[in-house]
Amino acid sequence: MNDSPTPTHTPSVHTPAAHTPPLHTPSAHATPARAEAPSRTTSPPADPARGSILVTGATGNTGSRLVARLVALGHPVRAAARRAPELPGAEGVPFDWHDPATHDDALRGASRLYLVPPVGDPDPAAVMLPFLERARAAGARRVVLLSSSALPAGGPGVGRVHAALPDHVDEWAVLRPSWFMQNFTGDHPHAQSIRTDGVLLTATGTGRVGFIDADDIAAVAAHALTDETAPAGDLVLTGPQALGYDDIAALVTEVTGRPVRHRSLTVEQLRERLAASLPAEFAALLAGLDRAIADGADDRVTDTVERLTGRPPRSFREFLIRAAG
pLDDT digits 0-9 by tens, 36-62: 444 433 455 555 456 999 999 999 999
Q: What is the value of pTM for the model shown?
A: 0.86
CA atoms of 107 and 120, how far apart (whole Å): 23
Q: Sign (positive/negative) of CA torsion 163, 165, 170, 176?
A: negative
* Overall average pLDDT of the 176-190 stretch: 92
Pairwise CA distance, residues 94 & 279, whole Å = 29
- Residue 47 is predicted with a pLDDT of 54
d(CA 147, CA 141) in angstroms, rounded, equals 19
- Judge whether residue 130 has pLDDT over 90: yes
pLDDT band at 3 (very low <50, low <70, confident <90, very high): low
Flag whether pLDDT at 75 surpasses 80.
yes
For 14-40, what is each residue's pLDDT tens digit?
A: 344 333 333 333 333 333 343 444 443
Closest to 215 measured CA to CA, from 90, 73, 40, 36: 36
Residues 6+ apart with CB under 8 A from 195: none
Asked whether the predicted pLDDT for residue 74 surpasses 50, the reply is yes
Region of residue 144 (left: phi > 0; alpha: psi -120 to 50; beta: else): beta
CATH class of 48-324: alpha beta
The conformational region for residue 115 under phi > 0 = left, psi -120 to 50 = alpha, else beta, is beta
Determine the pLDDT at residue 122. 81
Return d(Cα 61, Cα 85) in angstroms, integer: 14
pLDDT value at residue 280: 87
Q: What is the mean pLDDT of residues 268-290?
A: 89
Q: Above 80 in pLDDT, residue 215?
A: yes
Alpha-carbon distance of 140 to 169, in angstroms, equals 8
Q: In whole angstroms, give the CA distance from residue 120 to residue 114.
A: 18
Which of 175, 171, 149, 153 lies closest to 162, judged by CA? 153
Check pLDDT > 70 for residue 219: yes
Mean pLDDT of the chain: 87
User: What is the mean predicted confidence (pLDDT) over 231-252?
Assistant: 96
pLDDT value, residue 7: 39
> Is the confidence at residue 78, as pLDDT, over 70?
yes
Rounded to whole angstroms, how far apart are CA atoms 147 and 160?
10
pLDDT score for 55: 98
- The Cα-based distances of 198 to 191, 195, 250 in angstroms read 9, 6, 11
What is the mean pLDDT of the segment spanning 283-292? 89
DSSP 106-119: HHTTEEEEEE-PPT
Name every residue whose Cβ is closer than 8 Å to that of residue 148 and which is 6 or more positions away in sequence. Answer: 1, 5, 6, 7, 15, 16, 17, 18, 19, 23, 24, 158, 176, 177
